[in-house]
C-alpha cells in the first residue's frame, strides 16, 4: 500500500515542520550480564521530536496532504489515541490553523492528557482501551465532517513516519544493516520498512502481551489480540494495521517478543547508561537486545529507534 516513493513525497511535504533528530553512536548494547560486543550501533533519538514522539511526522504528512488537496475542513481534525498520536495531531492541526478533538482511553497517562490540553485540543476520555476511543472518534468524525486522523493505518500517516528511515540512511551514509524499533499498531514499522526496502531490514520488537505483528504474520492477516502490560499506554493497539501488515509481509520484517520485566529493565538501562528518559513502549526495542530476543550477527550495523519520551520520569530508578 505504500513504498519508498510515498515516503520521499512525505519528506518533501513535511520539510521544515519536523526536527531532524540526532543519531548517537554507542557501544553495542549487550544482553544483560554479557560483555559488550563489537557491532556498530546507533541510537536514533526520535524521542526528541516535537511533542515527544515520531508521531508528529505522520500527523503533519496527513494534515498537510489533506490541506493541499482541499480536504481539510474548517471544523478541523479528530483523532483517537493512547496519547502520542493525539499530541502529534493536535500540534500539527494548530500549526495548520484548524481545531483538533482527541479521544483517549480513560487509562491514558495524565502527562499525555495534560499535554493535549496544553496544545489546545479538546480532549474526550472514553472507555478503557484504545479500541473504545477509536470507535467514538470514528463516529464523531462521521457526524461532524471533521478529518479523521488514524494513528497508524492511513497511507499519508505511515509515509510520514517513514521519513525517519530516510534520515537514518542519510545519517549512516547508507551503512546500516538493521533498524530495530518498537511495534504497536505498526505505523512506524510500515513507514520505515518501506523507506528502507532494498537497503536494510527492520526488526519489530513488541510486548509479549501485545503481539500484534507476530500474530498477524503467523495468521497471514491482521488479527485481534488481547493487550495488557506496562507498555499498553503507547503500544496499546489490539490489531496490526492493514498497511503495516502489507509492508511487513512484503519486506520480511522480523518480529521479536519481550516481557514486561525486560522492558522495565531496558528503560532503566537507558537512563542509567545514557541519561535518556523514554516511555516503556520505546524501551521495547532496547529490551530486545538486553533480553537476547534479538542478537546481532558479528559486524552487523544496527540502529535502534527511541521513538517516544512522554513518560513519568519518577519511576526510572525505582
pLDDT-derived band at 83, boundaries 50, 70, 90:
confident
| φ/ψ of residue 276, rounded to 5 | -110, 120
Q: Is the pLDDT of residue 318 over 70?
A: no
Q: Is the pLDDT of residue 38 over 70?
A: no
Question: Any idea how long the chain is?
Answer: 318
Q: 49-63, 119-133, 285-299: lowest mean pLDDT where?
A: 119-133
User: Which domains are assigned to the chain?
Assistant: 4-53+155-315 (3.40.50.1100), 55-149 (3.40.50.1100)
Nearest-angstrom CA–CA distance, 184 and 152:
9
Nearest residue to 179 via CA among 50, 54, 18, 11: 54
What average pLDDT does this structure show over 66-73? 94
pLDDT-derived band at 33, boundaries 50, 70, 90:
confident
Write down the pLDDT at residue 37.
Answer: 64
What average pLDDT does this structure show over 58-84? 93
What average pLDDT does this structure show over 86-94? 94
Output the average pLDDT for the chain.
94
Asked whether the beta carbons of 315 and 281 are under 8 A apart, the reply is: no
pLDDT tens for residues 215-235?
999 999 999 999 999 998 888
pLDDT tens for residues 102-133?
998 888 778 778 889 999 999 999 998 777 88
What average pLDDT does this structure show over 34-42? 77
* β-strand pairing of 147-149 with 77-80: parallel
Residues 6 or more apart whose CB falls under 8 angstroms from that of 192 comprise: 161, 162, 164, 165, 168, 179, 181, 202, 305
Compute, in degrees rounded to 10, the torsion defined by CA atoms 274, 278, 280, 286: -40
pLDDT-derived band at 248, boundaries 50, 70, 90:
very high
C-alpha cell read off for 92: 500539527
pLDDT tens for residues 165-189?
999 999 999 999 999 999 999 999 9
Nearest-angstrom CA–CA distance, 237 and 286:
20
Write down the pLDDT at residue 131.
Answer: 79
What average pLDDT does this structure show over 182-201? 97
Write down the pLDDT at residue 273.
Answer: 93
Amino acid at each position: 500500500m505504500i513504498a519508498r516513493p510515498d515516503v520521499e513525497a512525505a519528506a518533501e511535504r513535511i520539510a521544515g515542520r519536523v526536527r531532524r533528530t540526532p543519531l548517537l553512536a554507542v557501544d553495542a548494547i549487550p544482553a544483560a550480564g554479557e560483555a559488550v560486543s563489537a557491532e556498530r550501533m546507533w541510537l536514533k533519538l526520535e524521542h526528541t521530536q516535537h511533542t515527544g514522539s515520531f508521531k508528529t511526522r505522520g500527523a503533519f504528512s496527513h494534515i498537510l496532504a489533506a490541506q493541499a488537496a482541499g480536504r481539510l475542513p474548517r471544523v478541523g481534525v479528530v483523532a483517537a489515541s493512547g496519547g502520542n498520536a493525539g499530541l502529534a495531531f493536535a500540534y500539527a492541526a494548530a500549526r495548520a490553523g484548524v481545531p483538533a478533538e482527541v479521544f483517549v482511553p480513560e487509562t491514558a497517562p495524565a502527562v499525555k492528557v495534560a499535554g493535549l490540553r496544553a496544545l489546545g485540543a479538546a480532549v474526550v476520555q472514553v472507555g478503557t482501551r484504545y479500541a473504545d476511543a477509536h470507535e467514538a472518534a470514528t463516529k464523531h468524525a462521521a457526524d461532524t465532517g471533521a478529518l479523521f486522523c488514524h494513528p497508524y493505518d492511513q497511507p499519508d500517516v505511515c509515509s510520514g513516519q517513514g521519513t525517519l528511515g530516510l534520515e537514518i540512511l542519510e545519517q549512516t551514509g547508507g551503512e546500516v544493516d538493521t533498524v530495530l524499533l518498537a511495534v504497536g499498531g505498526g505505523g512506524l514499522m510500515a513507514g520505515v520498512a518501506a523507506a528502507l526496502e532494498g537497503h536494510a531490514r527492520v526488526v519489530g520488537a513488541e510486548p509479549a502481551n501485545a503481539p500484534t505483528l507476530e500474530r498477524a504474520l503467523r495468521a497471514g492477516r491482521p488479527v485481534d489480540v488481547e493487550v495488557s502490560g506496562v507498555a499498553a499506554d503507547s503500544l496499546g493497539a489490539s490489531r496490526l494495521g492493514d498497511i503495516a501488515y502489507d509492508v511487513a509481509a512484503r519486506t520480511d520484517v522480523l518480529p521479536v517478543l519481550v516481557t514486561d520485566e525486560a522492558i522495565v529493565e531496558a528503560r532503566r538501562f537507558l537512563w542509567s547508561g545514557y541519561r535518556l528518559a523514554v516511555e516503556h513502549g520505546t524501551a521495547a526495542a532496547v529490551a530486545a537486545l538486553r533480553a537476547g530476543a534479538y542478537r546481532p550477527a558479528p559486524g552487523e550495523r544496527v540502529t535502534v529507534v527511541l521513538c517516544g519520551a512522554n513518560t513519568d520520569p519518577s519511576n526510572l530508578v525505582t
